[in-house]
Amino acid sequence: MKVVYILWLRQLKKYVRSRSRIIGSLGQPVLFLIAFGFGFGPVFQRAGQGNYINFLAPGIILMSVLFTAIFSGIDLIWDRQFGFLKETMVAPVSRFEIMLGKTAGGATVAMIQGIVVFLLTLIIGFRPHNIAMLPTAFLFLVLVALLFTSLGTVIASTLEDMQGFQLIMNFLVMPIFFLSGALFPLNGLPSALALVTRIDPLAYGIDGLRGALIGQNIFSLTTDLSILLVITLVLLLLGSYLFERIQI
């Protein structure tokens, strides 16, 4: 497990050293919180839905986790292009340990990013309703980070260069975010759109986090946790399988 620790630590060091990346990754969540939170807040309140900042904050927290986790997984492509992956994979260790270390490191970075955004939401005006539910909220943060880092690994294991990156962003990552209920309630949607949101894994993470922080959730917390756990395990296994088949 020493390799897992080394790769996990490497991911953290890359994150800490890249100050511009840290600052840049905070810009989008802050922009969404301010522009959407205060822009649509009066409309949301007049519709009888309450404080929009409180509704929006869990979605923006997991938005930052989603993008950071996906990018951490896709860092694998850069490692392949610059030769670091080849050096790692010729070492006398299993590829599963390598994949596990990179996934754990990417998920940890995504969790840190989510915690930082959570602190920013407190400054902007977000207030959790039940402090005792923060451990449950953290559990959802962990699962979402692991899930999408694993998804990033699955994607990166099937790509040889960054040419397909924009395709992934436009037709996978952005729909996952916008159809997750981060910006709007999932109840009362047209049946076709409601069906699409039900197969979006991020929707269960946001629903669970929103339920833990402000007590507004459509599904039960047990349902949200169970679905996220199953999808995370499936993606971890799939990512491990595809990673072991990478040709270097």
DSSP 5-31: HHHHHHHHHHHHH-HHHHHHHHHHHHH
Euclidean distance between the first and final Cα of the chain, in Å?
23
d(CA 248, CA 245): 9
d(CA 53, CA 213): 12
**Per-residue pLDDT at 34 exceeds 80:** yes
d(CA 215, CA 5): 37
Which domain does 152 fall in, by range? 2-244
Q: Which of 227, 78, 71 is nearest to 148 (CA)?
A: 71
* pLDDT tens column, 130-171: 889 999 999 999 999 999 999 988 888 887 767 776 677 778
**What is the pTM (predicted TM-score) of this model?**
0.89
Q: How confident is the model over 1-26, as a mean pLDDT?
A: 67
Tokens standing for residue 16: 């800490």
Number of domains in the chain: 1
Q: Which of 211, 181, 185, 214 is nearest to 199 (CA)?
A: 181
pLDDT of residue 17: 64
Residue 245 CB burial class (10 angstroms; 0-12, 13-18, ≥19): exposed
